[in-house]
Structure 1
Amino acid sequence: MKAVAVRRFGGPEVLEVVDAPVPEAGPGQVRVRVAAAAVNRIDLSTRSGALSEAGLLAPAPVVWLGWDVAGQVDQVGPGVDRFAAGDQVIGLRDVLSAGGAQAEYVVLDDRAVAPAPVGVPAARAATLPLAGLTADRSLALTGLRAGQTLLVTGAAGGVGGLLLELAAMRGVRTVAVAGTDDEPLVRDLGATWFVPRTRRLAEAVRREVPGGVDAVVDAAVVGVAAHEALRPEGTFVALVAPFAPPPLRATRVVVQEVFADGARLTELAALVGAGRLSPRVADTLPLDQVGVAHDRLAAGGLRGRLVLTP
């Protein structure tokens, strides 16, 4: 099978599409024939060597890329009774040493897999697992109740947009930070207030929410500038540990760590199928254009995920 591999760290030029053995599903696992696999920023960090330098990736002669997958189960391992060959599924590969999803086949634990959202193209479905589970867990870590306020940086991005929708479902009022041209988008996704990212952040947010917001989810990795918009004893959720600010003014700072949760992913997929959650696709590319995808993602400005179609 064809699969995206990295044998040395560097720029997009180190990406290779190689021939690899087709993996076999073991006990408690399913093999998925990949229809679509999203490209995420963690793929860029893996390829560049940043994860290795941070001690988050064990040394290996070959590193396989890809976390998100949508496709069809074509082999079921012993002990699996939730899925059968032919099922349309989505899933998340959360162990970097395992085979990647940017390949023609990937093997996942059955607990990492969920039924695909009904009536949703594979490319769009493939953008849900990592972004959806990240947004959902981030919101849960805030502990917010209906009527409370949440600041979302990077609100027009994949995680930020899903956060706005999930927060609106729970009656949480949101301040969306994004580019000026993104105001109509984030308003449609449920934002209560909009702040252009070019403004002095804390000052602009406190003008809308006197005293500061109850919680922040920092999807854009703004750091302490977003923390300044937080009320005393509020909660700050960071998505990247090294850029988490200190817990000033008796605030609580937590780092969201995503994991493959097939049960919750099943619930999120149902929301997508019902039209209540809106994962977005910026473009689809063939597997051998993975380097182009990395260049485009690094350049920024995308409003949706780039998706590889093996």
Structure 2
Amino acid sequence: MRAAVVNGFGGPEQVQVIEVPVPQPAAGQVRIRVAAAGVNPVDGAVRVGVFGGAGQRIGLGWDVAGEIDAVGAEVTGWAVGQQVVGLHYGPVKPLGTHAEYTVLDASAVAVAPARVDAAAAAALPLSGLTAARAVGLLGLAPGSSVLITGAAGVVGGLAVQLAVRAGLVVTALAGESDEEFVRSLGATAFVPRGSAPVEPVDGVVDAAVLGEPALGFVRDGGVYVGLRPHAGPAAERGIRVVEQEVAADGAHLAELVGLVDAGVLTLRVAQTIPLADAAKAHTRLSEPGNRGRLVLTTS
């Protein structure tokens, strides 16, 4: 089968699509015939060596949407032919989801949303779980104010929708041209990039990874949630600083699928690109203006 990997660190030219053996599911795992797989910023970080792994082949891809085609021992509740989505957690691994087949722990998958196609479904696992965990870690009561930076991005946009659903009063920080869009997601106030909110907010979800400037938007004793481990600002003024890290959680993913099918969450695909052109997807990943997730397809 074909799989996108890197054997050395650097630019998009390091991404190679090679032939590798079809993986076999171990106990507690399922094998998925991949229909679509999201291309995330973390894939670019893996490619340039942020997570290490020099001297070994590293498989790319975290998100997957496809069909179960083999089930390992001790797996219950899953069967060949089911359409699923899942998260293949981990930056340094021999095979990711940018492949024709991938193997995941059964606990990391959920039934695919019925409302959207495979490409859109593949935009949900990593971004959705990240956004949902970030909003949950705010720990704010309904009616509290929250600012979401990078609100027009994939993770930020989902965070806006989830925060609104949680009863929070959302201010969206994004580019000036994105005001109408983020308001359509439910934001009640808008702050152009480079500006500050009129009043301090109870909490911030820093999807744009602004760091210290975003902390400055939070009231004394509020909460700051960062999305990149070990990259958050130092706590000050009694502000609780949380650096969250996503986890593969099929049960939580199933809840997000339910919100997609209920029309609560909107998934965005910027472009679908054939697996054979995975290097081109990495080139596009580094370019500005992507409004939605880049998705590799196998057909």
> TM exceeds 0.5?
yes
- Residue 257 of structure 1: aligned partner: 245
SS at 1:146's partner residue?
Answer: coil
Cα displacement string for residues 168-196 of structure 1 (whole angstroms, at most 9, x for unaligned residues): 11110111001111111100101010001
| 1:135 and 2:131 are equivalent in the alignment | yes
- Residue 19 of structure 2: aligned partner: 19
Cα displacement string for residues 22-71 of structure 1 (whole angstroms, at most 9, x for unaligned residues): 0011110000000000000000000011221xxxxx45520000000000
Structure (1 or 2) with the greater helix fraction: 1
| 1:179 and 2:175 are equivalent in the alignment | yes
- Residue 237 of structure 1: aligned partner: 225
Q: 2:107 aligns with which of 98, 106, 111?
A: 111
- Residue 291 of structure 1: aligned partner: 279
Q: 2 CA distance for matches of 1:278 and 1:138? A: 18
Q: 2:70 aligns with which of 45, 69, 75?
A: 75
Q: CA RMSD in A?
A: 1.0
Deviation at 1:198, TM superposition (A): 3.1
- Residue 269 of structure 1: aligned partner: 257
Deviation at 1:97, TM superposition (A): 2.1
Aligned AA for 1:157?
G
Q: How many residues align?
A: 297
- Identical pairs, percent: 51
- Residue 214 of structure 2: aligned partner: 226
Pairing of 1:44-59 with structure 2 (within 5 A): 44-52=44-52, 58-59=53-54
SS at 1:75's partner residue?
Answer: strand
Deviating above 6 A after TM superposition, structure 1's stretches of 4 or more consecutive aligned residues are none
| 1:97 and 2:85 are equivalent in the alignment | no
TM-score (normalizing by structure 2) = 0.97
Q: 2 CA distance for matches of 1:121 and 1:34? A: 13
TM-score (normalizing by structure 1) = 0.94
Q: Which runs of 5+ in 2 are unaligned?
A: none
| 1:88 and 2:83 are equivalent in the alignment | yes
- Residue 55 of structure 1: aligned partner: none
Q: 1 CA distance for matches of 2:226 and 2:251? A: 24
- Residue 29 of structure 1: aligned partner: 29
Aligned AA for 1:81?
T
- Residue 38 of structure 1: aligned partner: 38
SS at 1:152's partner residue?
Answer: strand
